[in-house]
Structure 1
Amino acid sequence: MSSTTETTVLRRDRQNRTAPRTRLDPFPRSPLARWMLRLGLMAPLVVIAVLVQGVPSSDATPNAGLIDGVAAIDWNRGDAEWLALLYPHVSNLIAAANPFGRLGLSIIGAVAAGFLLQKVAEIIAQRAIPRSTGIILVIALAANPLFFYFALENLPGFLALTFFALALADIVRFVNWGNTESGFRGGILLMLAALSDPSGILFALIGALASPFLRTGRSWSPGLRAANTLVIAFPTLGAFATIAFLNVLFFGSPWPGQDLSAIVAGLPEGVAALGALYTTPTGWLIVAPLASAWLVGIIVRRPAALVVSGIVFLLLNGAFLLGAFHPGAAGVTFLLLTLLAIALIPGARTPLTNALVDVVAVLQIAIAWAAALDRPLVLEWMQSVAAASLLVFG
């Protein structure tokens, strides 16, 4: 009898025992818990998306432009030129299949936000970032009007950012721990980012350029970092090269519908306007996330973080000059640099550096709210949310 009881207890103990977490484990490890986390993160955005439908909304948002753009597409064509005109393919196809107008686009953005934030939590867990720092960084990233506006009113840009965040998790696993499957998956996700919005091309470039600055966990060999970068960048390069080749072959233009001469002619004026912007409080708020990223890099003694964030900031300015961002976009710099900080911060630090990084992360929360209040379009959207809440809840 005693032997039978002991056997039952041992069997129960084996069933309940949890294996130690590895760097490749998803977070949470239970599929049910992962979906519950995603649904919980989606819920506040879904509620706000539904609320806002009860009040007039601005026609200057990227989602409004996406709906107008999809309505103008000739869906009876199927030639190579039409394939280029369909860009950004992922966003246009999703919008075309969506029967619920702007509400549908906002709900899709809310769903994407749930996946993005769950993946951010997974990166934090896999990289053994201290819990306090991870919680503050997630709050800084998502608990602000910039994130909510971006997710609910700029589906193309937010899809690009979501695919970039998902790719970033795979790129870290690929470079740091040699998981080849993650490398291929990361490359495909970067391609989807680039096909979701013109800003996604920038995100794909950043993903490829950032990979050599990640610490590699494999034995060093000549050309390893270049090979990693090629694996990550190849799907995006292949997709755009194919479309460009077909158009050059049949129409003599790599990308029909794009007036490159007008873009080049407008560069001097754009450079002057950008320079003037940085003399205003708005410009200082744009620079603030870069300053925070550099401060964190200095605190954790990670020179690569300084280099990567500096390159990213220059690329962001170049993308603005080239018109890669919709005029109604907001918060791209802040959200992108915060995501990169999460990916680049080392996991093992002293209590003092942990505390200093936590202080900088708290400052990010203040920067996000200040930047939101400084953007007229975001401020107008916040007022719409407040008005809708008053209508429903009195």
Structure 2
Amino acid sequence: MSSTTETPMLRRDRTDRRAPRTRTDPFPRDPVARWMLRLGLSAPLILLALLLELVPYPETAPNADLILDAAAIDWTRGDAEWLALLYPHVSILTAASNPFGRLGLSIIGAVAAGFLLQKVAEIIAQRAIPRSTGIILTLALAANPLFAYFALENLPGFLAMTFFGLALADLVRFVNWGSTESGFRAGILVMVAALSDPSGILYALVAVLATPFLRHGRVSAPGLRAANMLVIAFPTLGAFTTIVFLNMIFFGTPWPQDDVSSILAGIPTGITALQSLYTTPTGLLIVAPLLSAWLVAAIVRRPAAIPVSTIVFVLLNGAFLLGAFHPGAAGITFTLLTLLAIALIPGARTPVTNVLVDLVAALQIAIAWAAALDRPIVLAWMQLVADAWVSFSG
């Protein structure tokens, strides 16, 4: 009698029991909960985008130029030069298919932010980073005006950053844990990032150059690191090589000549601007995330993270000289280095190192707000938010 009554209970217990979390599990594991998390993280920015409909559109924001560029496209063409002029393809096609103008672009950016932050939470869970560190780093990344401005007013740059962030998790799984599927997915995501904005080419370089510095989980073999780099780089190289090849065959130039000449002509001005930038307090705020990355790498005893962050910082300055960033862009350096810190630096394993990493992570919150208050374009946008709130509240 006893056995017959206990059997259903045992079966129910086995049914309800879930397998322990593994390092490749999504977070949350339930798809409904995962989508709810994405929507919940997107909701504040969606509300902010709706609020900003009450004030004039900031004409200096990258989204303003994106709308103009999409409207200027001749959609009756289909030749090889037109394919190059369509760049950045993902952003142009998104803007062209968006019927809601500024609001539509901002909402797309807000939804992308939800996906990016959910992936950040997934990386933190998969890599068993202490909860306190994960919460502080996520707040440092997203709870500041730089992130909100980036998401709502610079869709091309933010799409590129989002695809790069999604690729980072797959990159770590590919190199550390030998997941070939993750490697192919990371390469495709990096390619899409490069096709979303010129800054995405920088992120592709970062992903490829960071690969050899990651801890490889597979048995070492000759050429393994080079092979991993090729897997990540191949989709991006294939996409741009195709465009360049077609232009060389039909037009004798690798890219529309005006773009190349304007980039080269702008380098001297970029050098002057960069030199003047680092002689002001703003320059110190730009360098601060790099110094924080070095400090965290030293605390967790991962010296390989130091050259990675240094290479990234050098590439950021090179991209600035080549005009890869829109004049109205802001928050790229901080967001990129914070993402890399979350994805690449291992979690601390002792109480002392946990506290030290938490302190450095908390410092990032102050750096983000100081950088936001130091950028005139972000300050002007914050004033628009304040004006919109006053108009809404009455």
Q: What's the TM-score once normalised by structure 1's chain length?
A: 0.98
Does the Cα contact within 8 Å between 1:80 and 1:243 map onto a contact in 2?
Answer: yes
Q: Aligned with 1:20: secondary structure?
A: coil
Stretch moving more, 294-303 or 228-237: 294-303
Residue deviations 1:62-118 (CA, integer Å, cap 9, x gap): 000000011111000001110000000000000000000000000000010000000
- The aligned counterpart of 1:363 is 363
Note the C-alpha offset of 1:211.
1.0
Count how many residue pairs are aligned between Structure 1 and Structure 2: 394
Does the Cα contact within 8 Å between 2:348 and 2:357 map onto a contact in 1?
Answer: no
Note the C-alpha offset of 1:283.
0.9
Q: Aligned with 2:24: secondary structure?
A: coil
Residue identity in the other structure for 1:85? L
Residue identity in the other structure for 2:328? G
Does the Cα contact within 8 Å between 1:85 and 1:257 map onto a contact in 2?
Answer: no
Structure 1 segment 197-236 matched on structure 2, within 5 A: 197-236=197-236
Note the C-alpha offset of 1:300.
1.0
Note the C-alpha offset of 1:333.
0.2
Residue identity in the other structure for 2:122? E
Residue deviations 1:310-337 (CA, integer Å, cap 9, x gap): 0000000000000000000000000000
Does the Cα contact within 8 Å between 1:28 and 1:122 map onto a contact in 2?
Answer: yes
Note the C-alpha offset of 1:384.
1.0
Residue identity in the other structure for 1:75? W
Note the C-alpha offset of 1:268.
3.0
Alpha-carbon separation, structure 2, partners of 1:257 and 1:86: 14
Q: Aligned with 2:304: secondary structure?
A: helix
Structure 1 segment 310-325 matched on structure 2, within 5 A: 310-325=310-325
Alpha-carbon separation, structure 1, partners of 2:113 and 2:269: 36
- The aligned counterpart of 1:131 is 131
Query: Is 1:19 matched with 2:55?
Result: no
Does the Cα contact within 8 Å between 2:188 and 2:235 map onto a contact in 1?
Answer: yes
Q: Aligned with 1:279: secondary structure?
A: coil
Alpha-carbon separation, structure 2, partners of 1:140 and 1:50: 24
Note the C-alpha offset of 1:305.
1.1
- The aligned counterpart of 1:177 is 177
Aligned CA distance change for structure 1 residues 173 and 258 (closer, same or farther; 3 Å): farther
Structure 1 segment 281-320 matched on structure 2, within 5 A: 281-320=281-320
- The aligned counterpart of 1:143 is 143
Note the C-alpha offset of 1:348.
4.7
Does the Cα contact within 8 Å between 2:86 and 2:92 map onto a contact in 1?
Answer: yes
Residue identity in the other structure for 2:14? R
Note the C-alpha offset of 1:301.
1.3
Unpaired segments of 5 or more residues in structure 2? none
Residue deviations 1:157-179 (CA, integer Å, cap 9, x gap): 00000000000010000001000
Stretch moving more, 236-245 or 384-393: 384-393
Alpha-carbon separation, structure 1, partners of 2:228 and 2:149: 35
Q: Aligned with 1:263: secondary structure?
A: helix
- The aligned counterpart of 1:341 is 341
Q: Aligned with 1:303: secondary structure?
A: coil
Note the C-alpha offset of 1:260.
2.8
- The aligned counterpart of 2:373 is 373
Alpha-carbon separation, structure 1, partners of 2:382 and 2:323: 26
Alpha-carbon separation, structure 2, partners of 1:324 and 1:258: 15
Alpha-carbon separation, structure 2, partners of 1:258 and 1:243: 16
Note the C-alpha offset of 1:258.
3.8
Alpha-carbon separation, structure 2, partners of 1:393 and 1:164: 38
Does the Cα contact within 8 Å between 2:177 and 2:218 map onto a contact in 1?
Answer: yes
- The aligned counterpart of 1:107 is 107
Note the C-alpha offset of 1:377.
1.0
Residue identity in the other structure for 1:379? L
Alpha-carbon separation, structure 1, partners of 2:302 and 2:387: 45
Stretch moving more, 314-323 or 338-347: 338-347
- The aligned counterpart of 1:36 is 36
Q: Aligned with 2:349: secondary structure?
A: coil
Does the Cα contact within 8 Å between 2:266 and 2:323 map onto a contact in 1?
Answer: no
Note the C-alpha offset of 1:380.
1.0
Note the C-alpha offset of 1:261.
3.7
- The aligned counterpart of 1:8 is 8
Residue identity in the other structure for 2:237? L
Aligned CA distance change for structure 1 residues 259 and 86 (closer, same or farther; 3 Å): closer
Query: Is 1:164 matched with 2:164?
Result: yes
Unpaired segments of 5 or more residues in structure 1? none
Q: Aligned with 2:117: secondary structure?
A: helix
Alpha-carbon separation, structure 2, partners of 1:192 and 1:90: 7
Does the Cα contact within 8 Å between 1:124 and 1:134 map onto a contact in 2?
Answer: yes
Note the C-alpha offset of 1:385.
1.0
Q: Aligned with 2:186: secondary structure?
A: helix
Does the Cα contact within 8 Å between 2:348 and 2:354 map onto a contact in 1?
Answer: no
Alpha-carbon separation, structure 2, partners of 1:226 and 1:97: 39
Does the Cα contact within 8 Å between 1:128 and 1:348 map onto a contact in 2?
Answer: no
Alpha-carbon separation, structure 2, partners of 1:204 and 1:237: 10
Alpha-carbon separation, structure 1, partners of 2:118 and 2:241: 33
Stretch moving more, 339-348 or 161-170: 339-348
* CA-atom RMSD in angstroms: 1.0
Note the C-alpha offset of 1:204.
0.7
Residue deviations 1:198-233 (CA, integer Å, cap 9, x gap): 000000110111111111111111111110110011
Query: Is 1:351 matched with 2:347?
Result: no
Structure 1 segment 230-309 matched on structure 2, within 5 A: 230-309=230-309
Note the C-alpha offset of 1:289.
0.6
Does the Cα contact within 8 Å between 2:139 and 2:365 map onto a contact in 1?
Answer: yes
Alpha-carbon separation, structure 2, partners of 1:166 and 1:259: 29
- The aligned counterpart of 1:388 is 388
Note the C-alpha offset of 1:257.
4.5
